[in-house]
Every structure is written in C-alpha cells, then in structure tokens.
Amino acid sequence: MEEAIRMQALPPYLFARIDEKIAMAKANGVDVISLGIGDPDLPTPDNIIKRLVTAAHNAENHRYPSYVGLLEFREAVAEWYKRRANIELNPQNEVVTLIGSKEGIAHISLCYINPGDYALIPDPGYPVYGIGTMLAGGIPYTMPLKEENGFLPDFAEIPEDIAQKAKLLFLNYPNNPTGAVADADFFKKAIAFAKKYNIIICHDGPYSEIAFQDYRPLSFLEVEGAKDVGIEFHSMSKTYNMTGWRIGWAAGNTQVIKALGRLKSNIDSGVFQAVQEAAIEGLLGNQDVLKEINRVYQERQDIVIEGLTELGWKLERPKAAIYVWPKVPKGFTSASFCELVLEKAGVVLTPGNGYGDYGEGYFRISLTIATDRLQEAIRRMKENLGHLEF
C-alpha cells in the first residue's frame, strides 16, 4: 500500500524516536532516567480535578460540545488575559478552543497555506510548525536562531522573494528548546515585518507562566498591533500540569480565529465540555499553585546548572520555560553525545538536531521529572562521563 506523498515526506516524530531508544535501553535492563520530553510530572491542581468530577456527572456534558468551545471557557480565557496583562479580547470572535495547542498549530497551515506557499519556521524549533506546513503542501523556510542573537530570528536575513511568498510566521517565546525570551522591541519588529509582507504571525506561548527570579514573560498580544497581524496559541498543559487533558486555545485576530474555527468545525467535534469546565476553574480559580510549580522548576534548574557547571559547562540561566539548552562537548555531535550519555549513564537527553539543523551542537534537558531522579541523573553523568572538553 503506497502512502500519500505528504506522508512519505514526513520525518518520524522526534519524541517517537526517543521513546524507541528508551524502550530498547529498558529491554536491556537499564534503569533509564528520561530528561527528554517536556511533560510535567507535577499533579494537576486539586480544584481543577474536583471541577472535572462534578462536570463529568452532568449528563448535558456527555453530548457533542460546541466546535469553537463553550462561551464560558472562551470568556475565562479573555478574563485570564485581562487579569494577566490588561489585554482586551472579545470571547465571541477572538478566542477559539483547541484540543491542545498542538492541534491548532498543526491545522493553522491548512487555513492559509496553498501548495508552494512558504511558512517561516524558527530553527531550532518545535517540529510541528514545519510538519503542519508540509501537510498543507507548503514549504518551511527556516529562520536560524543563533546564540549570538539571543536565539531570536533576524528578519533582515530573510530574502525578499521568500518574504513575498510567505503566508505564516511562527514564533515561540519563552522558547522551546532554547529557553530564550523576547522583549517588546522584538515583537514590534516582527509585527512591522508581518505588516509589510502581509504575513500572519502565529505566536506559540505555552510557557508564559513558567518564569524565574521575578521575570514576567510578555504575551505577544500585549504589543500594539499584534491583533492586526496574528494570533497567540496557548494551553493549559504546561501552566496547570494538564498535558493529557488536551485543551488549549488560540486568541487574537478575528479573521484568523474565524478561519481556524471554521476548519475545526469540519474535522473535529470539539473538547469534552467537562474538561472545558475544569479548565475554567484553572483559569479563574486560585493561582497560588503556580508559585509552587515555579519554585519546583527553579530548584530543578539549579540542580542542572550547578551539576553541569561542575562538569565543565559554562551556562546562562534561562529566565523562563522548563528546559536547559547546553552545547555538546568538543568532539561530539548532538546525536553522538546523547547516545554516549544513554549508554554510560542510562540518562536520556534530547539531541538538538531533532529541532532543526541549527540545533546541531546542542542538547536539551527537560526539568519535568521528579527532583530526586533529576539529582540521580546528574550524579550518574558526573560519575560516568569521564573528562569532557569544551
């Protein structure tokens, strides 16, 4: 059976490959510690779970939900933005509910990309930006994220003919995988670039609430002109430890939100309403739990930074997100170093080239593992990797 051309062009999903390596190591009797996937290990807050239980007993919630999401959920999203950054959103036409932000990110290209159109993709970056573009028949054009530029793309480096043919521009700050952050000046440049070339900005902002040492990441929608040119994807997953619940949203430009909602009405049936009610509780309920979540991630970041420093790395502390993005030692590629660490220490790292060509020479550590296991992983690396050159 011959697969469609679009399927033949798709690479294996990065984390599927990592899961295979973990399974092989476990089959060989290795006690594997995975610092790979960014999947929060901390529990979903109790008030959210209790709201789900109550809502699940309501028979009205067992029927098909609204395609664009409960108005009450979209109102909660608008209120969350208002409370967080004084952003005004109309929940009727500037917010759409998603089955997790990944779903919306993958589908937005189907709304705007025709075969041969370009989408501007950060490299390194979340693989779904490019995969969604390819599935729509478009061409991903990579924007290098270089350390010397603070892992921000330089729009002046994008060729004129590419900019003219681009329909979408994907951005993601706080950034996965680098942990980099963006300021208002950068977003203003992005908005000006998008207006000049009639490009839609798709900002992916799921890490906005995970930040350290009093730093507060910007929402793209805070910047003047943002709603004129784009939308922001967000999710309950990282903020409230709800990755498995599959609920998120897109907010911003009315025309883009309408298009995404119209596409979704034709290909899915929305999010289970009981989950939407639970998400409302998360957005509008007591937010004190976020301080504890950030405290735990800060503690884990300290463990990684201090441990790798003792091994010889020189690292800057990320201001936000749940990752550390070190360079590989001399004499290694991203893949060969990660393979060495798995073989010698039983620790899974994510090779940087899995996020694009410009991720080569780096690896990613996720902080989403129990603190004692993270300490054990660093201990194993110290004891088993030998002398490393930088």
- Write the pLDDT tens digit of every residue in 332-355: 999 999 989 999 999 999 999 999
Q: How many residues does the chain have?
A: 390
pLDDT given for residue 387 in this prediction: 86
Q: What is the pTM for the complete model shown? A: 0.95
CA distance 122 to 136: 18
Which DSSP symbol is given to 211?
A: B
CA distance 309 to 304: 8
Which DSSP symbol is given to 89?
A: -
Mean pLDDT computed over 60-77: 95
Q: Which amino acid, one-letter code, is at 129?
A: Y
Give the residue with greater pLDDT, 293 vs 26: 293
Give the residue with greater pLDDT, 326 vs 66: 326
CA triple 91-94-100, angle to 5 deg: 90
Instruction: Tell how many helices (H) and how many strands (E) occur in the chain.
Output: 14, 12
pLDDT band (50, 70, 90) for residue 121: very high
Q: Distances from the Cα of 17 to the Cαs of 11, 12, 125, 159, 347, in angstroms?
A: 10, 7, 17, 34, 15
CA distance 131 to 125: 11
Task: Write the pLDDT tens digit of every residue in 169-211.
Answer: 999 999 999 999 999 999 999 999 999 999 999 999 999 999 9
CA distance 277 to 339: 43
Residue 330 has phi, psi (to 5 degrees) of -60, 145
- Give one DSSP letter per residue of 280-349, joined into a string: HHHHHS--HHHHHHHHHHHHHHHHHHHHHHHHT---PPPSBSSEE-PBPPTT--HHHHHHHHHHHH-EE-
pLDDT given for residue 13 in this prediction: 64
* Average pLDDT of the chain to the nearest whole number: 95
Contact 210, 174 (CB under 8 A): yes
pLDDT given for residue 23 in this prediction: 82
* Adjacency order of strands within the sheet including 363-366: 323-324, 363-366, 350-351
H/E stretch holding 155? none
Contact 230, 203 (CB under 8 A): yes
pLDDT given for residue 167 in this prediction: 98
CA-closest candidate to residue 98, choices 122, 132, 147: 132
CA distance 248 to 276: 9
pLDDT given for residue 7 in this prediction: 83
pLDDT band (50, 70, 90) for residue 14: low
Those residues whose C-beta lies under 8 Å from the C-beta of residue 16, and which sit 6 or more positions away, are none
Task: Write the pLDDT tens digit of every residue in 30-62.
Answer: 899 999 889 999 999 999 999 999 999 999 999
| Percent of the chain scoring above 90 in pLDDT | 90
* Domains with residue ranges and CATH for the chain: 5-43+289-384 (3.90.1150.10), 46-284 (3.40.640.10)
pLDDT at 5 over 90: no
Contact 212, 201 (CB under 8 A): no
Give the residue with greater pLDDT, 9 vs 280: 280
**75-107 burial, b for 16+ CB within 10 Å, e for fewer?**
bbbbebbeebeebebebeebbbbbbbbbbbbbb
